[in-house]
């Protein structure tokens, strides 16, 4: 089974803005280099797509309402979504925050046939999260993924094992994994335009045309996909990064952004019950040259302040930079389960104070949601003639 949310980021934002249901909506930043994170189906009718430059999206659909993303909210909803999946089967393989493969073979005796289980998941997602899901069910991961895509939005498609070949052979060749625009053009030049055409082409011919990909698409055209659902192991790293709307060459701006990224990263670690033994700094310069530096910590941490101090030291150690910075990132690496009070503290208790403050911040945000509480340094400066907003200083 492949379960995929419908326009996930937009759907979550519409929980806050029900007045925009049915209208063209785009989620993404407003900066000059921003891209579309998600678009409602109403906006997609105008050609707006994920990862498209925001400037292009606004030209295609000038009437669209543009909403800024709220990543922490998406992560919380995603965690609840994965909880629903885990209650159905222990064999869950997340692909992203809003989709996953589920092996439900062992759940059918308890919950019923596949279509019933798919309906149960869709109903719970709607009732518990307020968003919609599309479900594809098949004998293989590949066909299940195609089925969920073809059932969008808010649908369910079951492809019985005995109907797999007939289903696949009715599709355009672009349905096969590994067949992008260039591969499709190469196949079209020799008269191959459908999955059935691929299936009826000798593998040797496909290999001459496509190299190693040839045998891969041939196997898929006959529904052969031996991969099993593999539950994802503990994350090896957690991080965040930011692309600036204009290149930055001031240390204070870079340091402030690192503090923001440290809080986002540390909050995710604490929510997952993890701490890290090393931290990495990532810089991408205006010519797209990318540099990374890593520091091993003396003790495992899950505190934003300690992450920030370590990564700021990496930034300082670089000295004078050759050019302005386009993107900055922070990543906590070598993760392990948190040990709570076993973490070593400084003699004057400063680390303990920071950690206690961050614990309080976590509790407030869990209780009241996206409250806007943050370190004072991260508050946006007020414009002349305006009064303070709703963000709180910590």
Residue 65, classified by CB atoms within 10 Å of its CB into exposed (0-12), middle (13-18) or buried (19+), is: middle
C-alpha span between 328 and 315 (Å, rounded):
10
DSSP H helices in the chain: 8-16, 41-44, 54-60, 71-88, 108-111, 114-124, 141-150, 164-168, 181-188, 195-199, 203-210, 212-221, 251-272, 304-317, 350-368
Distances (CA, A) of 20 to 7, 13, 24, 25: 14, 9, 8, 7
DSSP 381: P
Residues with active-site annotation = 99
Q: How far, in whole angstroms, is CA 184 from its chain's centroid?
A: 28
Angle formed at CA 67 by CA 377 and CA 26, multiple of 5 degrees: 140
Q: How many other C-beta atoms are found inside a 10 Å radius of the C-beta of residue 284?
A: 19
Q: Which tokens go with 219?
A: 């196997």
Residue 4 marked in a binding site:
yes
Distances (CA, A) of 215 to 5, 316, 319: 32, 51, 51
Residue 103 marked in a binding site:
no
| Binding site, annotated residues for Mg(2+) | 4, 98
| Binding site, annotated residues | 4, 98
């Amino acid at each position: 089974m492949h379960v995929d949310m419908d326009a996930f980021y937009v759907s979550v934002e519409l929980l806050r803005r029900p007045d925009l249901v049915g209208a063209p909506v785009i989620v993404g930043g407003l900066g000059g280099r921003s891209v579309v994170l998600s678009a409602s189906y109403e906006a997609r009718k105008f050609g707006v797509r994920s990862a498209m430059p925001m400037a292009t999206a606004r030209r295609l659909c000038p009437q669209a309402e543009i909403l800024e993303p709220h990543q922490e909210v998406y992560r919380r909803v995603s965690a609840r979504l994965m909880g629903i999946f885990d209650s159905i089967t222990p064999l869950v393989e997340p692909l992203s925050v809003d989709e996953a493969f589920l092996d439900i073979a062992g759940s059918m005796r308890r919950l019923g046939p596949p279509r019933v289980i798919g309906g149960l998941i869709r109903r719970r997602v709607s009732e518990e999260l307020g968003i919609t899901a599309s479900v594809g069910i098949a004998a293989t991961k590949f066909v299940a993924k195609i089925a969920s895509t073809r059932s969008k939005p808010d649908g369910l498609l079951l492809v019985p094992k005995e109907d797999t070949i007939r289903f696949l052979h009715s599709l355009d060749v672009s349905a096969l994994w590994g067949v992008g625009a260039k591969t499709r053009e190469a196949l079209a030049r020799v008269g191959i335009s459908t999955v059935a055409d691929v299936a009826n082409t000798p593998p040797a011919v496909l290999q001459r045309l496509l190299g190693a990909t040839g045998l891969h698409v041939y196997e898929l055209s006959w529904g052969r996909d031996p991969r099993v659902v593999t539950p994802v192991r503990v994350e090896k790293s957690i991080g965040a990064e930011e692309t600036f709307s204009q290149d930055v060459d001031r240390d204070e701006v870079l340091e402030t952004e690192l503090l923001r990224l440290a809080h986002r990263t540390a909050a995710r670690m604490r929510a997952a019950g993890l701490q890290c033994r090393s931290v990495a700094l990532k810089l991408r310069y205006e010519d797209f040259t990318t540099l990374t530096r890593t520091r091993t910590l003396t003790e495992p941490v899950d505190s934003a302040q300690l992450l920030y101090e370590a990564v700021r030291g990496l930034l300082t150690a670089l000295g004078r930079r050759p050019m302005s910075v386009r993107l900055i990132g922070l990543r906590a690496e070598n993760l392990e389960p948190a040990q709570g009070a076993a973490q070593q503290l400084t003699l004057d208790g400063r680390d303990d104070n920071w950690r206690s403050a961050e614990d309080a911040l976590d509790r407030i945000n869990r209780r009241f949601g996206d409250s806007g509480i943050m370190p004072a340094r991260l508050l946006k400066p007020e414009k002349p003639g305006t009064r303070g907003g709703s963000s709180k200083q910590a």
